[in-house]
Amino acid sequence: MQIRSCDAQLLAIPLERPVVSGMSSGDRGAGLTTIFMPVVTLTTDSGLVGRGYTWALAAGGTAMRSVIQEDIGPELIGLAACDHEQILHKLYWKTQGVGRHGLVTQAIAAVDLALWDLRAQMASLPLFRLLGGRRDRAPVYGSDGGWLNMSVEEIVEAGRDYLGQGMRGVKLKVGHDDPGIDIERVSRVREALGEDVWIAVDANQKWDLPRATRAGRAFEALGCAWFEEPMLCDDVIGHAKLSRRLDIPVALGETLGSRFEIHSFLQAGAVEIVQPDLARVGGVTEFLRIASLCEVYRCPVEPHLMMEASVHLACGIPGVEGLEYMPWLTPAFVEPLRLEDGCLLAPEAPGLGLEISEKLMERFRVA
Ligand code: MG
């Protein structure tokens, strides 16, 4: 089965509410209002169609589409779709000088997902069963209801809504210049939702070591489940020091681009919960390698964003614990994933099981 064409389109999906986080949405800039979604369609000479996607927030969507269309697509034509590793090897070495992480890797992720979509369709299996079929649903926590631009009252209301749907808990954004503001906000949410409710906090790289230490100790006392991205994503030494000072687990990984980058943190004892992003690490293939690595370090994996595709990893293999419920890309799909008692059900259709209709493509396409 040979690849006959590779087509890339760029969708722009409005967010339900503008969002502000620690640093990821810029240095206290305006809230983000749109998520960009480059979509890849691979057609084969047998008529089978594979589809993959990736994402971009503040920048890079147009460039990702261009990399797929101009640099990656022509390399794929005529190759056997099942020679997946050979294809990735070729793409890696063509783009390494400008890639390795960042938008090129994220563009490759969309192709990797499309190849896995084809592979699972060839096997007539949903991807999570092809990967191992550990379970058919994965627990989620509410992740789209704790932004810095929301009041404590709004966060509590969103939290109750998530808990009412049976979710395991909620994640709150922290990361004001003065951590005291965040400590107070988290205390108030904790008080309103109750002692036993699962709450994680995420600073999106905002703080330095002294402020992260101060905040981390307070979050620990408030019984928070993990302290996510306390400091700059490249700061291995700082996170290792912080991990030694705190009992609350340090979680990170969403901004790292490969098993090599994640290994630096594992080896240094700088992370206790690893959160790879399927797009940012280059797709399912690299995610699987990262999951194996984390197993060696006895470190749980909690995928970042991309829940519609990540659910296949959380249901396919051991070690991938839960998912964040962040339905930003959901409007692009014909059918939203089913949520039952706080668990996301993996799609049972062969492949990724995610349909994007022509009508939806038309609606959201910007390039
Ligand atoms: Mg995060």
Task: Determine contact, residues 313/319, Cβ cutoff 8 Å.
Answer: no
Rounded to whole angstroms, the Cα distance separating 9 from 68 reads: 9
- The string of pLDDT tens digits covering residues 108-160 is 999 999 999 999 999 999 999 999 999 999 999 999 999 998 999 999 999 99
- Asked if pLDDT for residue 34 goes beyond 80, the answer is yes
> What pLDDT was estimated at residue 304?
97
Rounded to whole angstroms, the Cα distance separating 205 from 251 reads: 11
Could you tell me if residue 197 is inside a domain?
Answer: yes
Give me ligand 1 centre to Cα 248, in Å: 16
pLDDT band at 332 (very low <50, low <70, confident <90, very high): very high
When pLDDT is averaged across residues 333-339 and rounded to a whole number, the result is 96
Mean pLDDT value across the chain: 96
- Asked if pLDDT for residue 27 goes beyond 60, the answer is no
Which is nearest to 173 in space by CA: 153, 147, 149? 147
Task: Determine contact, residues 122/82, Cβ cutoff 8 Å.
Answer: yes
> What pLDDT was estimated at residue 215?
98
Give me ligand 1 centre to Cα 227, in Å: 10
Give me ligand 1 centre to Cα 293, in Å: 21
Which is nearest to 162 in space by CA: 145, 184, 178, 180? 145
Domain co-membership, 52 together with 196: no
Could you tell me if residue 25 is inside a domain?
Answer: yes
Domain co-membership, 103 together with 145: no
Rounded to whole angstroms, the Cα distance separating 271 from 241 reads: 10
Give me ligand 1 centre to Cα 184, in Å: 20
Residue in this structure with the two tokens 């896995």, named with its chain if needed: 116
Domain co-membership, 157 together with 208: yes
Which CATH number do you get for residue 45? 3.30.390.10
- Asked if pLDDT for residue 340 goes beyond 70, the answer is yes
Domain co-membership, 113 together with 149: no
Give the N- to C-terminal CA distance of the chain in Å, as an integer. 29
Give me ligand 1 centre to Cα 327, in Å: 15
Give me ligand 1 centre to Cα 70, in Å: 31
What phi and psi values does residue 50 have, to the nearest 5 degrees? -110, 140
> What pLDDT was estimated at residue 18?
81
- Asked if pLDDT for residue 22 goes beyond 80, the answer is no
Domain co-membership, 243 together with 360: no
Query: Would you mind telling me the total number of residues written for the chain in this entry?
Result: 367
Task: Determine contact, residues 251/227, Cβ cutoff 8 Å.
Answer: yes
Domain co-membership, 134 together with 212: yes
- The string of pLDDT tens digits covering residues 172-231 is 999 999 999 999 999 999 999 999 999 999 999 999 999 999 999 999 999 999 999 999
Could you tell me if residue 92 is inside a domain?
Answer: yes
Domain co-membership, 119 together with 188: no
Domain co-membership, 115 together with 233: no
- Asked if pLDDT for residue 21 goes beyond 90, the answer is no
| CA 140 to chain CA centroid, nearest Å | 13
When pLDDT is averaged across residues 52-81 and rounded to a whole number, the result is 96
**CB count, 10 Å around CB of 22?**
23
Could you tell me if residue 231 is inside a domain?
Answer: yes
Could you tell me if residue 320 is inside a domain?
Answer: yes
What phi and psi values does residue 344 have, to the nearest 5 degrees? -95, 130
> What pLDDT was estimated at residue 133?
97
> What pLDDT was estimated at residue 182?
97
> What pLDDT was estimated at residue 26?
52
- Asked if pLDDT for residue 24 goes beyond 90, the answer is no
Instruction: State how beta strands 137-142 and 49-53 pair.
Output: unpaired
Q: Which amino acid is at 44?
A: T
Task: Show the DSSP H helices in the chain as ranges.
Answer: 61-66, 73-76, 84-95, 103-122, 127-131, 152-164, 179-193, 209-221, 236-245, 259-267, 284-296, 307-316, 358-364
- The string of pLDDT tens digits covering residues 261-289 is 999 999 999 999 999 999 999 999 999 99
Rounded to whole angstroms, the Cα distance separating 132 from 130 reads: 6
Domain co-membership, 73 together with 138: no
- 72: part of which helix (H) or strand (E)? none
Give me ligand 1 centre to Cα 57, in Å: 13
The domain in which residue 154 lies consists of 129-345
Could you tell me if residue 350 is inside a domain?
Answer: no
Instruction: State how beta strands 32-44 and 49-53 pair.
Output: antiparallel
Q: Which are the contacts of 31, defined by CB distance < 8 A and separation ≥ 6?
A: 18, 19, 20, 25, 147, 149
Q: In 274-298, which positions are buried (b, 16+ CB within 10 angstroms) versus exposed (e)?
A: bbbbbbbbbbbbbbbbbbebbeeee
Rounded to whole angstroms, the Cα distance separating 132 from 185 reads: 41
Give me ligand 1 centre to Cα 203, in Å: 7
Domain co-membership, 34 together with 89: yes
Which residues have a catalytic role annotated?
173, 304
Which CATH number do you get for residue 333? 3.20.20.120
Rounded to whole angstroms, the Cα distance separating 262 from 255 reads: 10
Give me ligand 1 centre to Cα 172, in Å: 10
Query: What are residue 289's DSSP bridge partners?
Result: none
Could you tell me if residue 215 is inside a domain?
Answer: yes
Question: What percentage of residues in the chain have a pLDDT greater than 90?
Answer: 93
Total number of domains in the chain: 2
Could you tell me if residue 351 is inside a domain?
Answer: no
Residue in this structure with the two tokens 């004001």, named with its chain if needed: 176
Domain co-membership, 44 together with 85: yes
Domain co-membership, 192 together with 302: yes
Give me ligand 1 centre to Cα 128, in Å: 24
Give me ligand 1 centre to Cα 226, in Å: 11
